[in-house]
Amino acid sequence: MIRRPLKPFRVFASGVSLRRRVAYSLAIVRLILVPVVLLAIYYLFAMGQIVDRIVSVDAPVATLAQRASIEMLDARRAERNYFLLHTAQDLEANRQALSQLEQVIATCGELQPEERPTVEKIQALLKFYRRRFQDVISQQRQPVQTPLERIRGVVKAHQQALNDILKNARKQSRSRLVEDLRSRVEAFDAQMIAALEADDPAVRLATADLRTSSDEILRLASDLEKRGWERVQHNHEEAGMLVHRAEWVLIIVSSLTILLSVWVSFTLPRAVVKPLADLKAAVDHAAGGDYEIEFNLKGEAEVVQLAESVKNLIAHVREKKNHSGS
């Protein structure tokens, strides 16, 4: 019986150094993590700036502009009461409301430099309003007595109008009722001022200027408030777009990271684990007495050096066995 020679076992070991492969893998991971970290920092700072602008600038400016309108209305109410009653309390209330208005408008200009032209216009109108009001006060040495019959007529007409509104209250909604009452109160103030203007030339000349300047201040304050809330809405939409963009960037970067990890998981075993498994099989063949093993070694990597050592060891054992057999 002829014994066939055993087919030699082949071992292939080649490639780059294992250290280099690990270093390359870590470098690739770092290259992926660097833009991820940078993008996260960028979106974090961008979102922080938007939120800070809304909380610290836009919303406060809009709120302060609304408060400016309220202060101007309080000043006008105190002005009308002073023309009617000539009390020091109403005069002081007017001055305090104007002082508060001036502080509020100055704060708006500090918070939002873009609104400084509007703030300067309001300040100029406020200065004009104060000067005209002071002129009226200085001209009125003694309060002019308004005829009582005229006042009684205005009050009686106001009372009749209120009674008519209350009679129709059940047929109207609550919001409509409140609006009618508010309009009636404003009309009453206007009628009382008109009654006073009929007998006081100084008031008649100054009231038109005071009304015009105060109406312009209210209009500018309303526009300032409107632009403030528009900025809040715009920044809110910008924040939403930023979040949407960040989500897409995160999805893209995560997909690339997954693909790279899959590629690395297939590449490293093929380049490192397979030569080690071949070396293990070669050692098992040699332990079983089969020393016909061919080594195809390329490069100077750690696996190649290990394969070279195994090759020398097997050759040494085979040579020693041949000497002992002879």
Tens of pLDDT, residues 159-183: 777 777 777 777 777 777 667 766 7
**Cα end-to-end distance, the chain, whole Å:** 24
Confidence of residue 216 (pLDDT cuts 50, 70, 90): very high
More confident site: 51 or 207: 51
The answer to whether residues 143 and 81 touch, using CB atoms and an 8 Å cutoff, is: no
More confident site: 200 or 72: 72
Cα maximum dimension of the chain: 150
Tokens of 113: 């430099």
* pLDDT at position 6: 44
The one-letter amino acid code at 254 reads: S
Work out the average pLDDT over 1-11.
Answer: 49
Record the pTM: 0.61
The answer to whether residues 305 and 13 touch, using CB atoms and an 8 Å cutoff, is: no
Name the percent of the chain lying above pLDDT 70: 71
Confidence of residue 123 (pLDDT cuts 50, 70, 90): very high
C-alpha 53/C-alpha 35 separation (Å) is 26
C-alpha 211/C-alpha 205 separation (Å) is 11
The answer to whether residues 296 and 11 touch, using CB atoms and an 8 Å cutoff, is: yes
C-alpha 101/C-alpha 106 separation (Å) is 9
Distance of CA 215 to the CA centre of its chain: 34
Distance of CA 199 to the CA centre of its chain: 58
Tokens of 90: 């109403």
Name the percent of the chain lying above pLDDT 90: 22
More confident site: 100 or 79: 100
Tokens of 253: 């970067």
Nearest CA-CA partner of 98 in 209, 213, 228, 193: 213
Q: Where are the beta strands (DSSP E) in the chain?
A: 9-13, 293-297
Confidence of residue 229 (pLDDT cuts 50, 70, 90): very high
Mean pLDDT estimate for the chain: 77
Residue 239, pLDDT above cutoff 50 = yes
Q: Is 19 helix (H, G, I), strand (E, B) or coil?
A: helix
Work out the average pLDDT over 305-317.
Answer: 79
C-alpha 236/C-alpha 243 separation (Å) is 11
- Residue 64's CB is within 10 A of a number of other CB atoms, namely 21
* pLDDT at position 294: 73
Name the DSSP letter for residue 15: -
